[in-house]
Amino acid sequence: MAGARVDSAKEAHMRRMGIAVAAMLALAAMAAAQPAGEAHTPVRAPDCPAGAHAMIRTARLGLQFVQAGAIAPLCAADTLDVSTPLTLRLQRAPFEVRVPLESWSAERPDAPLLVAVSDEPGFADLMQAGLPLERVPYFGFGTSYAVTDYGDGVLITARHGGANPPPERYPGQHDLYGHNNVAEGRFNASGPGYKGFYVSRIARQHAFSDDLMAADAPATFVFYLDRRRDAVRETQGQPTDRIDLYEYEVIEITFAGG
C-alpha cells in the first residue's frame, strides 16, 4: 500500500509539472503571436564620442529611431546646456521615427507632430522655448507640407525665400520656412504603445531629386508636438501660448554608408 501511495504521489507531481510546462509553452506561443512592441525591438550598439552618453529615446518627447529592425541610440553631450542638440548616426537607408502615446496630452490626443529639416547653419537656433510658435519661420501659419493622407516616405526640407514667401510678420524671420505635418494616417508605421512614420527620402524643396540622406553634412531635425503645457506655465506665472522646452527636440542626424 505504501508503494502505491508513493507511485500515486509521483504521478500527481508529474501531472502538475506537465501542466506547468504546457502553460509556459502556451504563454510563449501567445507572446510570439502578438505584434512586436517597443520592448521587443533590439537596440543597436551605441557609437558615441567621448564627452557624450547614449540614450535609446529622446528625453522630452520620447522619440525613437528604428532602422533595419533595431533601435538606433542617440548621443547626448555631457552638459547641462539644454540648447545642445542630440546627435544620431544612421545608414543611408529607410528608417522609422516612433513617438510614445504618452507624449500626447489628453486635451490634444490627435495633435500633429511637426517636423522641420534643413542642413543650413543656424537652422535650429530659430526654435526657442518661450517664443510663440508663429515666430519660428518654418513653423508659422501656412508653412506646412502635407500632400498625402498616408505619407509617402518623403520629408521635405525647409527652404530659403522662394517665389512666394509667407507674409513677413516679424522682420528678418521669413527667409527660412516649411515643415512636414505628420498626423492621422501619415503615422503609417505605428504599433503597440506608439505612433510611427516611415522615412525613405529627405528631399530639398527647391530640388526634389536632391536627397539630403546622400549628403555628407548632418541634417538638423526640429520636432514639435503641442503638449498643452500652457496650464503649467500659467501656474508658474509665465506667459501662456508659448513654446515649452518639453514640446520640442533638436537632433542632428548624419547619414553614412549605403
Residue 137 binned pLDDT confidence (cut-offs 50, 70, 90): confident
pTM: 0.77
Residues 96 and 161 in one domain: yes
Contact present, 225 and 247 (Cβ < 8 Å) = yes
Contact present, 212 and 204 (Cβ < 8 Å) = yes
Number of domains composing the chain: 2
Stretch 33-55: mean pLDDT: 78
Q: Which domain holds residue 26?
A: 1-34
Lowest mean pLDDT among 1-15, 72-86, 166-180: 1-15
Give the integer Cα–Cα distance in Å for 101 and 196: 10
Q: Is 115 helix (H, G, I), strand (E, B) or coil?
A: strand
Residues 122 and 46 in one domain: yes
Residues 25 and 131 in one domain: no
Residues 62 and 135 in one domain: yes
Tens of pLDDT, residues 78-113: 998 888 999 999 999 999 999 999 999 988 899 999
- Please count the CA atoms within 13 angstroms of the CA of 195 that sit on its side-chain side: 18
Residues 3 and 127 in one domain: no
Residues 9 and 44 in one domain: no
Residues 63 and 144 in one domain: yes
pLDDT at 229: 65
Locate 159 and state its grid cell: 527652404
Residues 76 and 194 in one domain: yes
Residues 98 and 218 in one domain: yes
DSSP summary character for residue 44: P
Contact present, 179 and 140 (Cβ < 8 Å) = no
Residues 110 and 218 in one domain: yes
Give the integer Cα–Cα distance in Å for 177 and 160: 7
| Burial classification of residue 246, based on how many CB atoms lie within 10 Å of its CB (0-12 exposed, 13-18 middle, 19 or more buried) | middle
Residue 240 neighbours by CB distance under 10 Å: 11
Locate 45 and state its grid cell: 550598439
Tens of pLDDT, residues 176-224: 568 999 999 999 999 999 999 999 999 987 677 789 999 999 999 999 9
Residues 51 and 95 in one domain: yes
Locate 211 and state its grid cell: 536627397
